Chains A and B, each alone.
Chain A
Amino acid sequence: MLKRLHLAGQWVFLHVEGLFNLAFGEKLNPLYYLGPIAYYLMWVVVASGLYLYAFFKTGVQGAHASVEYLTVQQWYLGGVMRSLHRYGADAVALTMLLHLTRHWCFDRYRGFRWFSWVSGLALLWLVYAAGINGYMLPWDRLSQFVVVATAEWFDRLPMFGGELVRNFIFPENVNDRLFSLLTFVHIGVSLAVLAVLWVHTQRVPQAKTLPPRPIAVTLTIALLALSLAKPAVSQGEANLAAAVTTIGFDWFYLPVYALLYRWGPGEVWGLVGGLTLVLALLPWLPPRRRKGPAEGYHMLVRPDNRIVAVREGETILDAGLREGIAFPYECRNGGCGQCKATLAYGTVDYGAYQPDMLTAQERGAGKLLLCSATPLGDLEIDYQPTAVPGGIRARVWTATVDALDLLAPDVMRVMLRLEGGERIEFYPGQYLNVLLEDGEKRSFSFATAPHVNDRIELHIRRIPGGRFTTQLFERTKVGDRLRFEGPLGSFFLREDSDKPIIFVAGSTGFAPVKSMLEYAFHRGLARRMILYWGVRRPEDLYLALLPRQWAREHANFSFVPVLSDPRPEDHWQERTGLVHDAILADFPDLSGYQVYACGSVEMVEATHPAFTAHGLRQDDCFSDAFRLAARVRSHAPELVRLGGTA
């Protein structure tokens, strides 16, 4: 039954949106931006309200007169502002209700989305409280009705006990303080709306809080035209000696008031309370059985070569954006086709979308819309990046090999210099893809810090039998040219925290750590930083002198090499064992730290659960290989190995 209602609602929305697409085009269809439009209109209401407040007199004599002054004598600005305030608020209620209905129809309110739903509901009621309260201020006949009816309604609550209405039906009780109180409530509730709006929006990854500019401009012009053509006016000054018999009524905000004298206050409380309860419980009605694993599914994203978790029912787009993947998108409603990508592996529920945006042929060819599709298992997604962190766009570069240094028997330092004296911008921790002649790619992290951008340093470990690394170690020479694309990836040093950082490097995972540390020293970061470099034998610490030198030069940095397989002839006097065991021995409580892990998949797989069991917050661990699951295709780990693949 519920499913049928959802499908019927989807059918209606998709068809109406399809019609709107014909008029507005897919990218500027207002129905795809109901949330951002409500947000924008809220700012219109706030801005116009501030202007009105500057002229509003909070007194029995002044309230109505000041609003009339704005409406009549200052019609060209004050009157327009009042109308914008009124119509903007009405439009907020309308767009919020449509926004809520759409999310319900498309089943975007259950599971992990319950918080957005419940906070949205709180927001809706707060907007109603602010709107209804706003109608009390002009002190016209409608204000009189709303004030008295609200008092009658609230008097039904035990704490008021029937005395509240006495403040409003005897003229001698209505004084200037009442208007100060009403204004205080109006501003207070409006501030609460903005606060809850912020909370509501924070839960949506990379939520847009403003519609595209053409929509915002057109909407503003439409409201201005409306304000001039049909200005909002008062309905005669309030007079407590005369009953309010007939009033123009705002049916966006006041429909329950029409029921007050038909049903009675208790019944209206029952309706509003019951409706609120039902709406608040909707995410759990009926309880839904989980179909997939508790931790959700995993998705390998290319070309980032990242593996991210996707919660059950979560769209691929939201999961990617939540993890900072630069998926392209626009409407987020299956209407513009901007987020089209390729499903390289796995099965999805394609969701509801405009048929023109994903044809049957495209679907057959493995295409999907990231904003509509939800996973039914582990996935592999290929997409075309259009933006990267900091707005640094990835592109193809040509470079020449400037130097080749054998740092260890199986590790080569490759220095590249960009042709034409070009310089590359990147974030410390990002990587590049070397493009092979047959179209294959090999990923390597930048080992230089971004401020050293005239040359690129790579640490490449030889993989036995690996095509590219064998060629590099045996045939490549200084002066050879190669092409690569970059910078890529959203794994980079975050500077929005003061927590101490533990870097965990395994083998050539030292390369991105070197980039991050050199950048941190260059920037003068004062955070405490500890590097644990885990390798098998001493010779695998191919640049050990460098971190030891950093430790001498920087008081906030320390270096702990850890060997997992030392031999007697190594005469190793320092730490031994697995690198994460050494970290946990030194830091049994990781709740106050951030961890950046770079290395083999096996190391990260062993590290992550151990660290989280010792208090490391999910938000404080960074690794492209984190959340890696054995269930993901067997070759996937190779793709996410930072520091080099075969």
Chain B
Amino acid sequence: MPSGASLAQLATYAAFGALLVALSRHPAYRPVPPGDALLQVSIAHAGVRLRPCRRLSAQELAARAPNMRAAFKCPRARSPVRVSIALDGRALLDETLAPSGFARDGLSTLYRRIPVAAGTHLLRVQVDDDVRAPHAGALREIELRLDAGQVLSIDFGPQRDGIAIS
């Protein structure tokens, strides 16, 4: 016959175990609302150069040290990148991304995580990477069906043939 103290010890360890099991699993967490799909917009793209590269003249090249005689001089600053996304005509995103770096010559980056209702939607994605020519960038408009819990990724880059929706 176990003593009262033994039973109390057993109960304490049982409570300890129950606490470990309970809080290591419950309550469940829902990162995406039930019935929603998830849009993941991730763009890392360098805008076009704000000023084009210029070929140096023979005199300019001669004035430079032999190891510095690159044929072109390229101003570093790049254009901001504007990203606009609309779903069924409703704007989900419209942001102008500044280039990174002190000289503003790096990538413009964006990441957004947007839960959207499942169903059939008209998705319109526009990316302009040259501020001097607004609305002349890439545009993609598609009708798609999103299931609950589906992930739709949107990326942009020349290596992905422009706007990539997957």
Interface residues of A (CB under 8 A from B): 20, 22-25, 86-87, 90-91, 94, 145, 149, 152, 155, 161-163, 165-166, 169-170, 218, 222-223, 225-226, 229-230, 232, 240-252, 254, 257-258, 261
Contacts and interface: CB of A to CB of B under 8 A. Distances in A.
Contacts of A241: 150-151
A162 B111 contact: yes
A254 B13 CA distance: 24
Given A90-B20, A246-B30, 4 more contacts: A91-B20, A162-B44, A169-B151, A169-B153
A94 B26 CA distance: 16
B139 interface: no
A463 B29 CA distance: 81
Contacts of A169: 40, 42, 151, 153
A245 B5 contact: no
A222 B13 contact: yes
A245 B31 contact: yes
B24 A86 contact: yes
B9 to A, nearest CB: 5
Contact of B107 (A163, A218, A223): A163
A247 B5 CA distance: 39
Contact of A242 (B100, B151, B166): B151
28 contacts: A20-B12, A24-B5, A24-B12, A87-B24, A149-B31, A152-B113, A161-B109, A162-B42, A162-B44, A162-B109, A170-B42, A170-B153, A170-B166, A225-B17, A226-B17, A241-B151, A243-B32, A243-B36, A243-B151, A244-B31, A245-B30, A246-B28, A247-B29, A247-B31, A248-B25, A249-B28, A249-B29, A250-B24
B23 A250 contact: yes
Contacts of A87: 17, 20-21, 24
A240 B166 CA distance: 11
Contacts of B38: 243
Interface in B82-114: 100, 106-107, 109-111, 113
Contacts of B46: none
B75 interface: no
B129 interface: no
Given A23-B9, A250-B24, A243 B17 contact: no
B27 A249 contact: yes
Contacts of B23: 90, 250-252
Given A169-B153, A226-B21, A152 B111 contact: yes
B72 interface: no
A145 B9 CA distance: 38
Contacts of A248: 25-26, 28
A23 B8 contact: yes
Contacts of A165: 42, 111
Contact of A251 (B24, B109, B151): B24
The 9 closest A-B pairs by CB, nearest first: A23-B8, A162-B109, A249-B29, A243-B38, A248-B25, A226-B17, A251-B23, A222-B13, A243-B32
Nearest to A165: B111
A91 B16 CA distance: 9
Given A246-B29, A247-B28, A258-B29, A240 B17 contact: no
A242 B24 contact: no
A87 B148 CA distance: 33
A222 B17 CA distance: 7
B34 interface: yes
Given A243-B31, A247-B29, A249-B29, A90 B24 contact: yes
A190 to B, nearest CB: 19
B151 A161 contact: no
Contacts of A161: 100, 106-107, 109
A258 B28 CA distance: 10
Contacts of B34: 245-246
A244 B151 CA distance: 9
B81 interface: no
Interface string B129-159: 0000000000000000000111101010000
B25 A250 contact: yes
B32 A244 contact: yes
B37 interface: yes
Contacts of B32: 243-245
A225 B21 CA distance: 12
Contacts of B13: 218, 222
Given A242-B150, A246-B28, A249-B28, A22 B8 contact: yes
Nearest to B19: A94
A218 B10 CA distance: 10
Contacts of B19: 94
Contacts of B21: 87, 226, 230
A520 B28 CA distance: 67
A153 to B, nearest CB: 11
B20 A94 contact: yes
A147 to B, nearest CB: 12
A249 B25 contact: yes
A163 B109 contact: yes
A226 B31 contact: no
A222 B151 contact: no
A523 to B, nearest CB: 49
Contacts of A232: 24
A257 B30 CA distance: 11
Nearest to A222: B13
A297 to B, nearest CB: 40
A94 B153 CA distance: 38
Contact of B31 (A145, A162, A240, A252): A145
A390 B107 CA distance: 67
Given A169-B153, A170-B155, A261 B24 contact: no
Contacts of B155: 170
B31 A261 contact: yes
Contacts of B42: 162, 165-166, 169-170
A261 B30 CA distance: 10
Contacts of B29: 246-247, 249, 254, 257-258
A158 B129 CA distance: 22
Contact of B150 (A24, A152, A243, A249): A243
Contacts of B149: 242-243, 245
